[in-house]
A = this chain, B = another copy of it.
Amino acid sequence: MDLHRIDEFAKEMIFEAGKRIRDAFSYELKVETKSDANDLVTNIDRETELFFIEKINAFAPHHKIIGEEGMGEKVESLDGPVWIIDPIDGTMNFVKQHRHFMITIGFFVNGIGKLGYIFDVMREDLFYAIADEGAWYNDSPLRKLKPIDIKEAVIGINASWVTPNRRVNHEKIIDLVKTVRGTRSYGSAAMEIAFVVSGKLDAYLSMRLSPWDIGGGIIIAKEVGAVATNFQGEKFDLLSTDTFIIANPSIHPLILEQYIEEK
């Protein structure tokens, strides 16, 4: 399998999809549609996923596709080549902010990550990786993450996980928030993962994510030495929803052991 050829194909497809989204967006904004902004995003989401499915089917008909919008055939195993796709991660940002939403795509073979992409559509910024070859932010190589002390860390976490919830002991999350240097929340898992792999954040955690939220990101993570697991410290379940943490390797074990207690 020629990964470089697939990488070229994937990038071209992502850039074209990005342009289509930006165009659709500016057209819709111009005509000031009376329709609900939520309908707009749903339509663009679906159209973009269909666009990816058609492209991949034409490129390699035997590749399987798992997409957020579920427009493809149902995939029940990770055998063979599998694309995991989120056409727009951060739909609320798309609607309200017209920025901070990502296309994110992972390409796996027999469950092993091979190519990962997170594309900031409005900035036209691409974070990507080729397994065992490295990771890049546009044309610049991403460096291995340097060790950091938990007290100096800035972490991505949604405020709602700091409140009483069914999934984790929020008192421990409060400890975490009080221990680190600062917290951020951007409303797009893929954006927060892109920030961790590029050292802009030191960790990001969420109590419930889907494979398409993190599929591209975990492949980039591996190349820069970021550790991405579920809250048991195991591989994220790519056929279901799961808990998720990605972190600088120097603080990943500490966060899991000291600050996360699942209910």
A178-192 vs B, Cβ < 8 Å mask (1 yes, 0 no): 100111111100000
Q: How large is the interface on A (under 10, 10 to 19, 20 to 34, 35 or more residues)?
A: 20 to 34
A200 at interface (Cβ–Cβ under 8 A)?
yes
A193-204 vs B, Cβ < 8 Å mask (1 yes, 0 no): 001000111000
Identical copies of this chain, number: 2
Which residues of chain B have C-beta atoms less than 8 A from A162's C-beta? 159, 162-163
Q: Closest chain B residue to A198 by CB distance?
A: B97
Which residues of chain B have C-beta atoms less than 8 A from A92's C-beta? 154, 181-182
A210 at interface (Cβ–Cβ under 8 A)?
no
Which residues of chain B have C-beta atoms less than 8 A from A160's C-beta? 177-178, 183
Min CB–CB distance A148 → chain B (angstroms)? 10
Q: Quick one: which of B163, B174, B181 contacts A177, CB cutoff 8 A? A: B163
Chain A residues with a Cβ under 8 A of chain B: 92, 96-99, 154, 157-160, 162-164, 174, 177-178, 181-187, 195, 199-201
